[in-house]
Chain A
Amino acid sequence: MDFSLSKSQLMIRKSVRKFASETLEEWANYLDRESKPLPPEIVREMGRLNIWGIQAPVEFGGAGLDTVSYCLVIEEISRVSAAVGLGVTVHNSVCLAPILRFGTRDQIARYAPDLASGRKIGGFTVTEPQAGSDAASIQTTAVADGDHYILNGQKAFVTNGGVGDLFIVAASVDRSKKTRGIALFLVEKSMEGFEVGKIEDMMGMRGNMVSELFFNNVRVPKENLLGRAEDGFRISMQTLDIGRIGIAAQALGIGTAAYTAAATYAMERKQFDKPIGTFQAISFMLADMKTNLDATRLLIYRAADLKDRGLPFSTESAMCKVYASSAAMQVCMQALQIFGGYGYVKDLPVERFFRDAKITEIYEGTSEVMKIIIGNDIIREFSRI
């Protein structure tokens, strides 16, 4: 068993780390403080670097990377700006990836090149004000009308909502069929009746324009149906399995940033004539942080590797996500404690890491939903005996 990264994976990590520190770092605090998106010139540069099409095939303008490399990119970006990492992972793993996997040749030709290059930013939305973890209870409807479906309804907490050009939208074509009645549609910002609602004023991830979306008699051509009408829920769940690996990598990035900052500070800050990191109380905290992050990393790479080898990874994806988000929270809390009063003020980024980490336990399936997925797998396994 070889736990080491390949030469190209190491180069990818080094290169993205350099880009993040040279280009994104100066923006990270501003995006958070002002709740603003990245300026267009940086979005374009990220497009040139293939960051909007990390795993998309080269013929569509992507980099064609494996999933472990994908995680490295998300981790490194999120180390500097979790909000930018969020935009990138959602765009890649739950918008572009399902189009490439489940889309028709025409849909791929129409959307993949623009998405992979970052000329268009994508999102994916199931959640509604009344339908969170209970995704099957969505109220947004799609009614067939000739060559079109007519969409009506409202979506909530849509990542990239304020800046996105294309969204995969879950809507019910037949409420009586519950999950089998949920379909996915490719909805463009320019379609009549599509409206971006309030940009959320959030605790963390403030550099991502998370918003409400409204659909008021939006006429979506039937060729924009993603997969078969009755497969929307299944495609959503499979898509989220992939998305969760990205969110876990994001949590790992946040945790790593907090740990690195805390370890550096602990060896600089002197109290009682000694660096505080040499006191056992602090070094034990750092030891816990390092161990937690390493375990997270291995869980993520394992899930990513299973996906790359075409093996089932749904449970492993849920395991890495629930563990990574919890580890990120714990590590950020300990980092803040090590920084003491300095960690609590906004002059240093530690409090931002802490605020950003919390949402990883909530979105792309809450930690409780992750445990349902893992629990169901355990039930299946042991009821056979």
Chain B
Amino acid sequence: MLSILVCIKQVPDTQKALFDPKTGVIDRNTADNIVNPDDLHALEMALSLKDECGASITALTMGPSQAADVLAEAYALGVDRGVLISDPRFAGSDSLVTGKILSRAIEKLGPFDIIMTGCEAIDGNTGHVGYQLSEFLRMPLLTQIHKLRVSPGQVIIERLYGHEYQKIRVDLPVLITAGKTANRVRTPRLADIRTCAEREITVLTMDDIGGEAREYGAAGSPTVVIETELFSHRRERELFAGTVDEKVDKLIHKLKKQNILRY
């Protein structure tokens, strides 16, 4: 049976959250915490594999104790084991140190045939963790997957890469990141929601994964945030004059100029 580990992260719902206009930082009191949307697509991909060919799924998250909520949600969806990495010494870790912590926990929990993450989290949007896990774990990485099939000892993945559509066969074990368009995430059954908060969660601390305090947290993180700026996206409107044919020509010309239409 396949053994799969999915990394999931608890994030503030940035679509609903308000930002401090001066500092550009999210006001965490204005938004609920949710499972990072890309991670849910990764989780759904794992659950579909479990439905098709059987698999044992571990959901792994890192954060303070309330991050266990995302593991309860993962249990409701159908994972077999929930693991929380939580230690005050990890607070303030940047994406590099997060990758280090996760990879050490994975080595302790493993081995796994497939490790999955989302492409990026909606709070930091760095998209680093998949790449860093690949380095730390010395595993091949395939990013932005939207389809995955398993054949003995291998997986065949499909991905959109820029304007190209790729189909790749790769030996297990493999690390993949799931894209936004990967799938439609299932709704959990009410019976599974009722019991999910009571399921056992394994908690790992620094003492379990090894290393020293100076490697972790803010002290071990080389990333420095210099400034945060609020970004707003403005829509442009333009009216074309002329006959329908002329308008279509102008529109095509404009779209090509903006590199939206390429051919």
Contact = CB atoms under 8 A, between A and B. Distances in A.
Interface of A: 7-8, 11-12, 15-16, 18-19, 22, 48-51, 54, 58, 62-65, 69, 73
A11 B187 contact: no
Interface residues of B, number: 14
4 smallest CB-CB distances across A and B, nearest first, come from A63-B190, A50-B190, A63-B191, A19-B187
Interface in B43-85: 69, 72-73, 76
B233 interface: no
Decide if the interface of chain A is mainly helix, strand, loop or mixed: helix
B187 A49 contact: yes
B203 interface: no
A49 B190 contact: yes
A165 B188 CA distance: 27
B197 interface: yes
Given A7-B69, A7-B72, A12 B193 contact: yes
A11 B73 contact: yes
5 contacts: A7-B69, A8-B193, A8-B194, A11-B196, A12-B190
Where chain B touches its partner, the secondary structure class is: helix
B22 interface: no
A355 B189 CA distance: 31
Given A8-B196, A50-B189, A63-B190, 7 more contacts: A11-B73, A12-B190, A12-B194, A58-B191, A63-B191, A63-B194, A65-B194
A148 to B, nearest CB: 37
Contacts of A50: 189-191
Contact of B190 (A7, A18, A65): A65
B76 A11 contact: yes
B191 A11 contact: no
A259 to B, nearest CB: 18
B187 A15 contact: yes
A8 B192 CA distance: 10
A15 B188 contact: yes
Contacts of A69: 190, 194
Nearest to B69: A7
Interface in B183-209: 187-191, 193-197
